[in-house]
């Protein structure tokens, strides 16, 4: 079991700057669009976006849980929920660098970076495509073997292909970089993307109401309010003894009474089976508690 100190739990769970969240594309969404998504969510109570997460779910053992995520418009506070997640297809262009046989480089007319004739946007697109192909490393990656949508840079609905010289035909055919030869390709395909719908639940009209909601719904236990055995106290003392960023407590099966008592207070014991039930590495993360006056995030890991 690991324990990580949480310096400011109320700030940790609150979106301070929604534009800081990156879209899951090689080229991020514009800040203006991300701010609009955030504003629409709080104003209307729901918003649907592609490859973008304002909240997320995670595995807690064999079940899924929702990480606590809150937002504010300055007047009210909201809890953001993940309503639906599904895969959809979009017919988008993709620019990528297809790794070639190095023997082909003889007699091939190629370019090298920087390509000064490119616009600032295309400079950025080329850089991201090079990163996808690991052009600066050895070996590079043959992204041409991957499925469409995972090879390089997608021209999503907020990256206009008409503004890029790479689409429909790149301005150069080959790129030579670090003894690697790549062919520049632009293709239009139906690509899978993740569509998520988020909802916003009002939970308070003030900072104090927000903090009380976090205490009531996120905090599992303040250990100062419960009676602990010496064995449970030893587990907590060991886990919270930072080294220096986090501490940990470990033991061999079967589970000790002390660890079981701690996990019971964290509302996790009933979700954890016998050690023999686990055939693979399993985690139980994001359990929040106060110990010795400080907030901690606890994670339990079971190794088979």
pLDDT at 104: 75
Q: How would you class 109 by CB atoms within 10 Å of its CB: exposed for 0-12, middle for 13-18, buried for 19 or more?
A: exposed
Alpha carbon distance 222, 89 (integer Å): 46
Q: Write out pLDDT tens, residues 167-213.
A: 999 999 999 999 999 999 999 999 999 999 999 999 999 999 999 99
Quickly state the pLDDT bin for 5 (edges 50, 70, 90): very high
- DSSP annotation of 54: S
Q: Write out pLDDT tens, residues 23-40.
A: 999 999 999 999 999 999
- Output the CA torsion 295→21→36→45 (10° steps): -40
Alpha carbon distance 270, 35 (integer Å): 41
Alpha carbon distance 298, 102 (integer Å): 50
What average pLDDT score do residues 145-155 get? 97
Q: Write out pLDDT tens, residues 72-90.
A: 999 999 999 999 999 999 9
Cβ–Cβ contacts within 10 Å for residue 82, how many?
Answer: 18
β-pair type (180-204, 70-72): unpaired
pLDDT at 189: 97
Task: Please write down the long-range contacts of 36-41, taking CB distance under 8 Å and 24 or more positions apart.
Answer: 38/71, 39/73, 41/71, 41/80, 41/198, 41/199, 41/200
Comparing 39-48, 106-115, 132-141, 213-222, the range with the smallest average pLDDT is: 106-115
pLDDT at 32: 97
Alpha carbon distance 15, 114 (integer Å): 37
pLDDT at 61: 97
């Amino acid at each position: 079991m690991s324990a990580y100190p949480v310096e400011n739990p109320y700030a940790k769970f609150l979106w301070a700057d929604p534009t800081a969240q990156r879209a899951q594309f090689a080229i991020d969404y514009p800040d203006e669009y991300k701010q609009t998504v955030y504003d629409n969510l709080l104003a209307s109570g729901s918003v649907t976006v592609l490859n973008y997460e304002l909240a997320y779910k995670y595995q807690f053992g064999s079940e899924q849980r929702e990480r606590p995520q809150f937002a504010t418009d300055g007047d009210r506070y909201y809890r953001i929920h993940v309503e639906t997640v599904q895969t959809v297809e979009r017919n988008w262009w993709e620019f990528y660098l297809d790794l070639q046989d190095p023997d082909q480089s003889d007699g091939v007319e190629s370019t090298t970076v920087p390509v000064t004739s490119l616009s600032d946007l295309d400079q950025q697109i080329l850089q991201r495509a090079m990163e996808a192909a690991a052009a600066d490393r050895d070996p590079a990656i043959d992204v041409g073997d991957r499925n469409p949508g995972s090879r390089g840079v997608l021209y999503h609905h907020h990256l206009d292909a008409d503004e890029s010289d790479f689409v429909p035909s790149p301005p150069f055919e080959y790129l030579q970089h670090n003894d690697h030869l790549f062919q520049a390709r632009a293709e239009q395909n139906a690509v899978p993307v993740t569509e998520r719908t988020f909802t916003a639940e009002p939970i308070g009209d003030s900072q104090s109401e927000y903090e009380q909601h976090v205490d009531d719904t996120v905090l599992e236990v303040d250990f100062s309010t419960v009676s602990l055995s010496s064995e449970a106290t030893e587990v907590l003392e060991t886990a919270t003894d930072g080294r220096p960023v986090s501490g940990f407590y470990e033991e061999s099966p079967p589970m000790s009474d002390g660890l079981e008592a701690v996990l019971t207070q964290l509302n996790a014991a009933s979700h954890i089976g016998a050690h023999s039930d686990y055939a693979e590495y399993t985690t139980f993360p994001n359990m929040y508690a106060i110990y010795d006056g400080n907030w901690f995030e606890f994670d339990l890991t079971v190794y088979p």
